[in-house]
Structure 1
Amino acid sequence: TSQEELNKFLRSCKVLAVYKDFDHSTGVWCYSVEYLDDQAILSKSNGKIDYREKLTKDEFAKFRVLRECRKTLAAEDGMPPYVVFLDEHLAAFSKIDLVSLDQMKTVKGVGDQKIQKYGERFITLWCAKRADVEKYLSESDEKGR
């Protein structure tokens, strides 16, 4: 719906001001939002993105499980987690139904070498742990997210 789209947009940027006005000729409320986009926010901050703000509740729950999968693979290979996949890759994975290597390839920055090295193991871990998404969603509901 339009309201969901607006809410998703508002979560994706830093809102500076919201103006609303009733248009009597058409009988509708008009909203104007003054905001900073992600690039402006990153240049003013320490470069970290709060994915709780950027992703929907369902996507963030999936993102948390994907981070656990990445951490497991990184520990197995003795690598830092960001070598396996970046947070931005996990955020993109959280928006798709990740069940194949071809789907992984659609994410910008995930190349053939990374897929060859981590792809099948990552998807296997994800399939084994995807039920944990519900656990995180219920935790989120209890905390009021």
Structure 2
Amino acid sequence: MVLVMDKITSDSRQFSIRTFANLFGLTPATVRYYESLGLISPQRGTNKRRYFTQKDVEWMRFVLHLKNTGMSMAQLQQYVFLRSQGDETISERLELLLQTRAAFMQQQAELEQHVRILNDKIDWYQQRKRGALGEQVSFAEYLSNIGHHL
């Protein structure tokens, strides 16, 4: 993806809301929503328009990473609030991240189970197609025979 810079200053790039949103495949409305939740805090120019810096880009990448691990918007808000309180909240932030990881690992295990069943169904059809399994062998029976279950 090519980054289009709206302005270049001597020390940092500044991105418009549209350019910033495009970097992440978001709409400007979504960026404004994230701002309303306090997840991001863009600067304002003399014309009162939002602008984002490279530091904002890096922060948004992290916020979206947390969101993609299943962290809710409320949890993201809590994390951002705790972060704004400084190092005295490291324990609370760590606990929130540990909880998020545990929930994410549970989701991953569930997804792996779904993939296993999908693979088993594919194998069952392939064996039926090759004639290795007769029509009388149901999928449930096939699973039982290979030590799997739904």
Q: Please state which band the TM-score falls in when normalised by the shorter chain.
A: under 0.3
TM-score by length of 1: 0.26
TM-score scaled to structure 2, two decimals?
0.26
Structure with higher strand content = 1
